[in-house]
Amino acid sequence: MDSSGTAGVVERIAVVSDVHGNMTAYDAVLADIDARGIGTVINLGDVAGKGPRGSAAVARTRERCSVTVRGNWDDLLPTKEFPPGDPMTWWKEELTADDRAWLAALPLVHHLELSGRRIRLLHASAESVHVRVHARHTDEQFDAMFATTPLTGEGPAPTMVVYGDIHDAFVKVRDGRTLINAGSAGNPLDETAASYVVLEGVPAGSTADVFGLQMVRVPFDVEAEIAVARGVGMPSLEAYAVELRTGVYRGLHAERGLRAEDVLR
């Protein structure tokens, strides 16, 4: 409630992550966000790399997202030199110089407050964009997501952390704190539909105000996206196709006997 005794105005924010140059999925997600009347979109990084249209994904992100934080691919592609023949070179060169400069300058963390929840948004962990925290994690790893570190900067400890990186959406609540993974809006590895999160609450409100959290799944045309990747000669096409068709991480394909030609929809 505000000082007049009336409820504060509720704001809705969409949080997307890990687009990875998949414009087919990204545009489907953004269309769903638009259909819900949500005007604010926050992106948790890994905009480019792994998929075929990183530069287009950067352009769309710059157009549509009010805040974007840096992911591990966004951190590596602009500045790291890769050996000849390394597939990473293809994804780096697919970006323009302006794309790379923009990615390299992205912040590592963003903070907001809704209905008394202090919310930290970052890509992978409070330690580094290159330190991964899986859906199955220890209590110590959970606690570390809420710690104050050089990456997060000083400030009040968060009561909620939203992150990406693992392409595996989940919500976990412990000791009054909530850890949320937004999954992936371009390369989901828990099921084959893209995912994003909606946060709903009163800016500068209190815990007496309503707060909402929703996981959203958006189907997209997997075969159309694979056709785009094939058409531009993207490397690692086989692994990309299997991931999109099955939602199974490429490091598990061999042991599960998964090949692109065997998992056609």
Q: Based on the number of CB atoms within 10 Å of its own CB, is 85 exposed (0-12), middle (13-18) or buried (19 or more)?
A: exposed
C-alpha torsion sign, points 218, 224, 230, 234? negative
The gap from C-alpha 115 to its chain's centroid, in whole angstroms, comes to 23
The gap from C-alpha 210 to its chain's centroid, in whole angstroms, comes to 25
- Whether residue 6 is predicted with pLDDT greater than 70 in this model: the reply is no
* Range with lowest mean pLDDT among 6-10, 128-132, 170-174: 6-10
- Whether residue 40 is predicted with pLDDT greater than 90 in this model: the reply is yes
- Whether residue 32 is predicted with pLDDT greater than 50 in this model: the reply is yes
Give me the pLDDT at residue 155, please. Answer: 85
Contact (CB, 8 A) for 26 and 57? yes
What would the mean pLDDT of 164-185 be, rounded to a whole number? 97
248 pLDDT band, cuts 50/70/90, is: confident
Contact (CB, 8 A) for 52 and 21? yes
What pTM, to 2 d.p., does this model score?
Answer: 0.93
Contact (CB, 8 A) for 16 and 44? yes
7 pLDDT band, cuts 50/70/90, is: low
Spatial separation of the C-alpha atoms in residues 48 and 95, rounded to whole Å: 8
Give me the pLDDT at residue 5, please. Answer: 41
Give me the pLDDT at residue 84, please. Answer: 84
Contact (CB, 8 A) for 71 and 47? yes
Q: Which residue has the higher pLDDT, 263 or 238?
A: 238
